[in-house]
Structure 1
Amino acid sequence: MTDVTPTPTPTPLLEVAMPALLRHARHTYGAAMRAALAARGYDDIPANGLYVIGALALGEAPLGQIIRELRVSKQAAGQLVDALVLRGYLEREVDPQDRRRLTVTLTERGQAAADTQREAREGIDGALLACMGEEKVLHAREVLAALIGIGREGE
C-alpha cells in the first residue's frame, strides 16, 4: 500500500527569506495595534513608542534596558521619551532614593494606550491560534526564542 498523505503545496511566502517574513509578520501586529490605538484617540505615538509603552506596562525592565533593546542612540532615545512625556503617555519624576536619577512611569493615558495595544495583540494572537493551532504557535514561539538566543550569543 502506498502512502497517500498529501504533500502541502508551498505557498510563495514559504520561499521568502526569514528576515523578510519576520518584518511582514511584525507589520501585522503593528498595523493592528496602530489601528486600535487610532480608533481610541492614541494616534500620536511616535515610532518605537509602542515598544516603550508596552514594555513599561509589563513592568519587568528598567527604561535603560528597554532603550538598549531598541538599539537607538542616546539622543534618539531621549527625544522619544521627551515626545511620550509631552504627549501625556509617560511621566518623569526625580527618584526619591537617588535625586540624581529620574524615573519614568506610564500615566493614566499611557496605561490606557498599553491596554489598547495589548488587546490588539491578543486579537492577532487569537486569529493565529485559530488558523494554526496551539502546537504550531508554540513551535513558532520556540523558533523565534531560539533565533533571539542566537542573536544574543553573537553580541
Structure 2
Amino acid sequence: MDQDTPWYDNVVIAALLRHARTTYGKAMRDALDAAGYDDIPGNGLYIIGGLAIGAGGVPIRQLMRELSITKQGAGQLVDTLVSRGYLQRTPDEADRRQIIVTLTERGQAAAEAQAAARARIDAELLARVGPDDVAALRRALGTLINMRHEAELEDPAH
C-alpha cells in the first residue's frame, strides 16, 4: 500500500459496512443511554427507529422478514420491548390473525433520541464528504439492497 492510497481502499466493502454501522449504532446507544433508555435490546433500535419513520404499526410477520429472524425470535424481541414499555400490540383490523406493533409514548421518546443521534452523524458525514458523496453512498447502498431483493425474487430460499 502506498502512502497516497487511503486505508479504506484496502478493506473489503462488507467490513466497511459493518464498521460504518457501528458508528451509527454507538451514537444512538450513547444518546439512548443518556436519555434513560438503556434497556433496548440490539435489534430493538431497528424496530423503534423503523416504527417512528413509518406510518402506523407493523405486523410481526414483516419484522421477521426485515430482520431475517424466526417467528420465535421476533416474538421474543417484541415481548421484551412491550414489557419494557416501548411497544404495544394490537390486533390488525383487516386480519385478526395478525398482530400489529406500534410505539408507546416511551417508545416515541426513545425514537426521538435515536433520531437526533442519527441526524448528528448524518450532518457530520455531509460536512466531511459533501452532498455528492453522500448521494453516491445512498445510491450504492440502495443498489446492494436491490441486489438482495432481486436474488430473493429469483430464489425465495436465497
**TM-score, normalization by structure 1:** 0.89
SS where residue 119 of structure 2 aligns? helix
Structural mapping, 1:1-155, within 5 Å: 9-60=4-55, 62-63=58-59, 64-155=61-152
Secondary structure of 2:41's counterpart equals: coil
- Per-residue deviation at 1:11? 1.8
Shift of 1:47: 1.2
How many residue pairs align between the two structures? 148
Q: CA offsets per residue over residues 81-112 of structure 1, 9 Å max, x none?
A: 00000000001123455544432110000000
Q: Secondary structure at the match of 1:44?
A: coil
Aligned to 1:5: none
**Alignment partners' CA distance in 2, 1:111 and 1:35:** 17
Q: Distance in 1 between matches of 2:143 and 2:94?
A: 38
3-state SS, counterpart of residue 72 of structure 1:
coil
Supply the distance in 1 between the matched residues of 2:99 and 2:131 (Cα, whole angstroms). Answer: 42
State the shift of 1:66 in Å.
Answer: 2.9
Between structure 1 and structure 2, the one with the greater Rg is: 1
SS at match of 2:49: helix
Contact map agreement 1:90 1:106 (CA 8 A) in 2: yes
- What is the DSSP-based 3-state SS (H/G/I as helix, E as strand, rest coil) of the residue aligned with 1:82? helix
Gaps of 5+ in 1: 1-7
For 1:65, the aligned partner's letter is: Q
CA contact (8 A) 1:55 1:66 kept: no
**1:95 & 1:141 partners in 2: Cα distance?**
33
Deviation per residue, 1:107-142 (Å, 9 max, x gap): 000000111111111000000000000111101110
CA RMSD of aligned residues (A): 1.7
Q: Which runs of 5+ in 2 are unaligned?
A: 153-158
CA separation in 2, counterparts of 1:149 and 1:31?
27
